[in-house]
Amino acid sequence: MDTIKVFAPNTDEHKALATAATILTAISPNGIRYTVDETYFDYGQRWMWTTLIARRPDGVEYQALCPRDHEKIILSEDILTTIAEIRSDKWWGDK
């Protein structure tokens, strides 16, 4: 996947993730705050990517997106529809 990389803040990809983070935070029923950050995609290979990090009110943090959903957001032409689709997946935990 070409979207598994670090994106500079001024890129369209980073901006798409930031928009998604803002929307997901606003509609989170569990008070989860989503932010854009760089983290390991594969620690063993030291492969980093820019993605969404979810921060629960109890302080637990985790990567919010699988590579498929990450790519959907970055390539989306309609971010609201894309977010609705991602949130409707049975594996989305913030319901």
Within-domain flag for 1: no
Q: How many domains does the chain have?
A: 1
As to burial, measured by CB atoms within 10 angstroms (0-12 exposed, 13-18 middle, 19+ buried), residue 85 is middle
Give residue 2's pLDDT: 86
Within-domain flag for 3: no
Between CA 16 and CA 78 the distance in angstroms is 10
Total-model pTM: 0.93
Taking only the tens place, the pLDDT of each residue in 23-42 is 999 999 999 999 999 999 98
Within-domain flag for 7: no
Within-domain flag for 5: no
Taking only the tens place, the pLDDT of each residue in 73-86 is 999 999 999 999 99
Q: Which domain holds residue 80?
A: 12-87
Whether 70 contacts 51, CB under 8 Å: yes
Between CA 62 and CA 56 the distance in angstroms is 9
Within-domain flag for 4: no
